[in-house]
Chains A and B, each alone.
Chain A
Amino acid sequence: MAGVAPRRGRLALGLGAAAVLLTAAPPFLSAYPLTLLTQALIYAIFAMSLDILLGYTGLPSLGHAAYFGTAAYTVAILATEFRAGFWTCLVAALAAAVLAGALFAPLAIRATGTYFLMITLALGMVVWGLAFRWVSVTKGDNGISGLERPALGPLSFAGDTAFYYLTLAVFAGAAACLVLVVRSPFGMSLMGIRESEARMRSLGYNVWLHKYLAFVLAAAFGGLAGVLWAYYNGFVSPVEMQLVTSVEALLMVALGGSGTLVGPALGAGLIVFLKNFVSLYTKRWLLILGGVYICVILFAPGGIIGALRGVGALRGWGALRRWRRPGARAR
């Protein structure tokens, strides 16, 4: 473990620099890059929440957009139909996402690997189907529009800069919570389950309960991202829940590096910028995005973080092992 201390130091330095940059950036950015940055932060929360399942517990969910979308729809419906305020929307939306997660988890965590993937895909489709067809509540394919950005007492978050800072604050809070979770004994147990479920069970850990809690926790933070998204976009549609969104979140995690929190956040940022910039210059951006999927898997299976660790030359046995066996955890 000789290399851990310098790496942690460098990580802290990097994070500090990122925090300063993110806080100081708005005055130097024009409107468009700023909204992209907001979007990137929202997706970063989403991708980190997915990584609790995928990277830390070893459960590849193909339906994570369900919780993002459930929360986003809850906000949209409450805010437009019932004129509910920010806190009501936030609490109700998180409760809805947690409820969805708590209901779906028992079905999903009976399985592992590909079967887990299939079941979460199917459950995601249940929610998407409701959003798409339950027109009297969700307005179906048209989506719900006319969502206004929130105000907290005297503070209005209607402006892009103000909303950016709100997003940044929520992002920082969420990231801090998730770091605490993965560093806690609970987080360690999750990683133990990822590495060997049978061993954890024979050591007396309640594997089912750990997976269940990880699932619900991931749903909750996915929902938090959905709340921000609903306010950011001002419009919610079934697109937010579709399979492509769930897979995109997986790509963000894989691109950044699963089993870390920094990785998915980086991956989310990269994908958001790539999608937006490429679509500015060419209509063929789906072609390019498809190519990105394939290249990430072929050339950077450990993601950016994995590649950095590789470049950093065999630093730390755990990092090396994780880098060498990118697929091992997902099985």
Chain B
Amino acid sequence: MEFWVLQSFNGLSYGALLFLLASGLSLIFGVMRIVNLAHGSYFLLGGYVGLSVVWRTGSFPLALLAGGLAIALVGVAMERLFLQRLHGQVLGQVLMTMGFALIFQDLALLIWGGDPYSLPAPAWLVGSLRAGALVFPVYRLFVIAVAVAIAVALWLFLERTRAGAVIRAAVDDEEMARGVGINVARVSMGVFGLGAFLAALGGVVGGAFIGVYPGSDFEILPYAFVVVIVGGLGSLQGAIVGSLLVGLLDNFGKALFPELSYFTLFAPMAVILALKPTGLFGRA
């Protein structure tokens, strides 16, 4: 019983972290139909920027903000200067984002070196809560809380604001959105910035949880893709359900069948794809 509760809790908290990456990736895909291989790099760079800020100022909230905003700028610049001119060229976009992913990886290595770091969490998030024999680390609860807050905020933004409606219109039918006078190029740029912001936020949050180290970009990227593929491209609901599913599957897979843990994660995805190629909540 304890095993199941604790593993579920761990799975949930990892799923929460994944949601921060996958929600942005999914939105970007929804609007621009881009397979962004540099999305893991935003996670990595966000973690490193957050780390530097914590070292300098000692402030964790400031690290979240600075990491998120700095990488949002990087994302916007990348979209504006490079990706926008490749509109509709699937292969070109993939290779371009791969180029950026390699450059970011090497730059991070150049600036922060190859040592793994752990981002120091603020004192009020250290420690754990006890419930009988069960122990829950406070920080993991915090990660879950952040993801829930972001999910609610994104939902309100997408469903209840004018800007959100514009984004949904661009996701549903780009040509039609253009036709009614929506500046899809600007929407793309905004969504790209938002996605990069969320991924970088995930990097800072994850920095005190799974660490900041070279290679974490390409380690977490497949997970984010699985979430998006399972949940459905461009769907917030899909990102939520997908993150939880992937977090839990991954955790139980690792605990129960360590040898086949990736298989227990990727095989259900293949089954879902076989049955519903657009994912659980995706529309064709």
Contact = CB atoms under 8 A, between A and B. Distances in A.
Interface of A: 54, 60, 62, 106-107, 110-111, 113-115, 117-119, 121-123, 125-126, 128-130, 132-136, 242-244, 247, 250-251, 254, 258, 284, 286-287, 289-294, 296-298, 301, 326-327, 330-331
A247 B262 contact: no
Nearest to B86: A297
A284 B106 contact: yes
B92 A297 contact: yes
A133 B99 contact: no
A96 B117 CA distance: 41
Given A107-B274, A243-B221, 10 more contacts: A119-B277, A250-B95, A254-B91, A254-B92, A286-B106, A287-B106, A290-B99, A294-B99, A294-B100, A330-B92
A134 to B, nearest CB: 5
B135 interface: no
A118 B106 contact: no
A291 B110 contact: no
Contacts of B102: 286-287, 289-290, 293
Contacts of A133: 258-263
Interface stretch (B177-185, B200-208, B264-272): B264-272
Contact of A243 (B88, B92, B222): B222
A95 B277 CA distance: 27
Interface of B: 29, 33-35, 37, 82, 86, 88-92, 94-96, 98-107, 109-110, 218, 221-222, 225-226, 228-229, 233, 258-263, 265-267, 269-270, 273-274, 277-278
B94 A250 contact: yes
B81 to A, nearest CB: 10
A203 to B, nearest CB: 25
Contacts of B29: 114
Nearest to B267: A126
Contacts of A135: 259
Contacts of A327: 86, 88-92
A331 B96 contact: no
Nearest to B92: A297
B225 A121 contact: yes
A290 B107 CA distance: 11
A134 B259 contact: yes
Given A118-B233, A119-B277, A128 B89 contact: no
Nearest to B259: A134
B257 to A, nearest CB: 9
A293 B99 CA distance: 5
